[in-house]
Amino acid sequence: MLSQQENEYLTHTNRGTPMGELFRRYWQPFLLSDELPDNDGAPVRVRLLGEDLIAFRDSDGRVGLVAESCPHRGASLFFAINQERGLMCIYHGWKYDVDGNCVDMPSDMPGSAFKEKVHLTSYPTIESARVIWTYMGPADKQPPPPNYYMNMLPEENVIAQRTPIYCNYLQSMEGNLDSTHLGTLHMYYDNLKPADLEYDKPGHPTPRFSQYITGTEKYARIDVQDTDYGYRLIAVRKTPNGNQHVRINCLALPIMSWIAAPRGLGSIFTQLPIDDYNCMRIGWRCSPDRPFSDQERTSAASQSMMMDPNNPKLRLKRLDNDYLQDRAAQKSKHPPGIWPGAEQDYCVTETMGPIYDRTKEHLYHGDAAIVRLRQMLGKASRDLQEGIEPPGVNGEIAYHKIRSEDIVIGPDDDPWLVAADAGESATRGQRLR
């Protein structure tokens, strides 16, 4: 468990907090490109790391991310007119471009240069992997653009999704890096029946065989391998033939995670704080060899963004309606009685409370990756306070080579050698940082 002081240290991310300053040193995704579809279209409210911001796409297609309050007298720029390369405040007509420069002040006296003294807080943006990213840290410390796997593929080979989550980022992140919950939270009772046993041999199994193993072998040996970018979570389960079923999730500091799947084709997630009590999950699915079809995109969207038709800003399934839990399905289909799988995750992390009180928890061996996540985040943020640059911001790490994995290996094979393509060189128990 954590002390109350350490829990607050890790979960608070507003400007000026140690964790908030760490997050601001990385490029962070915050909107889907599709959410700003049109040049000179309507601005969009964005709350990010406790800051109230406005995103807009100008006449030239450039994306601006600026403070919501007009620096004149604080009116909201959400109501501004977006046209002719800038946002015009409806209060007095002051206008700002994507860089936060005041480019027009029609209510000022003729010949005045006062507008040149006014600057609206703004953050640089880039578009990549169907998502808009921003950097909110010191200008002289801006890192190279993100180069994760999805950033290297053509946009038609990428699906990107954004989902609001109603709790602190850390408990949502910890759910991504917990491999022992698969045998309960995501298990269907049909998974307990033997299936595809011919895949109980070295190689990539079918999803059904993997589900059989995780459903029946609830115990997994959990190891954490430190890397230059963060760590790899390696979960090993025995198979009926005495082989090893290996699932590898990866963490790139501070908040990017790779979910185990064969050949590294699992989802990639980030859990970015909206504020201390809410976060957003932006996730990607990648297809290395071909574009996704329209049908595949529609299917993915229907399973991930189940929004309330009466309030499209809220998820349909949430605490105040008990996640529409089906008690009959809980006994006949799967333990949570909630569908789809992502909503199962949201249920257990959100019902911990907006910020979970970690002084009350009882951790066991299966929580090794969660413990290491907290240690790494704490160390990186404390190092930053001492002037030590965070890991990965100098562009030297081959982020695009990071891969998760779901594979069967022989009884004497070494799981530490699986999917080690991103320069991972640590051995079991070694600490790189």
Residue type for position 288? P
As given in the structure block, the two tokens for residue 246 are 């290996």
In CATH terms, the fold of domain 149-417 is: Naphthalene 1,2-dioxygenase Alpha Subunit; Chain A, domain 1 (3.90.380)
Q: Confirm if 303 and 311 have CB atoms less than 8 A apart.
A: no
Q: Confirm if 81 and 87 have CB atoms less than 8 A apart.
A: yes
- Region 240-264 average pLDDT: 97
Q: Per residue in 362-404, pLDDT tens?
A: 999 999 999 999 999 999 999 999 999 999 999 999 999 999 9
Q: Per residue in 58-99, pLDDT tens?
A: 999 999 999 999 999 999 999 999 999 999 999 999 999 999
Residue type for position 268? I
16 pLDDT higher than 60: yes
- pLDDT mean across residues, the chain: 95
Domain residue ranges in the chain: 28-134, 149-417
432 pLDDT higher than 50: no
Higher pLDDT, 55 or 313: 55
Q: Confirm if 179 and 249 have CB atoms less than 8 A apart.
A: yes
**CATH superfamily entry for domain 28-134:** Rieske [2Fe-2S] iron-sulphur domain (2.102.10.10)
Confidence of residue 415 (pLDDT cuts 50, 70, 90): very high
pLDDT of the residue at 433: 42
- Region 298-308 average pLDDT: 79
pLDDT of the residue at 424: 83
Number of H helices, E strands in the chain: 8, 21
pLDDT of the residue at 426: 60
What pTM was estimated for this model as a whole?
A: 0.94
215 pLDDT higher than 80: yes
Which uninterrupted H or E stretch holds 274?
strand 268-275
- Region 5-18 average pLDDT: 98
Confidence of residue 304 (pLDDT cuts 50, 70, 90): low
Residue type for position 372? R
- Region 31-48 average pLDDT: 98
Least Cα distance to 198 among 165, 243, 237 occurs for: 243
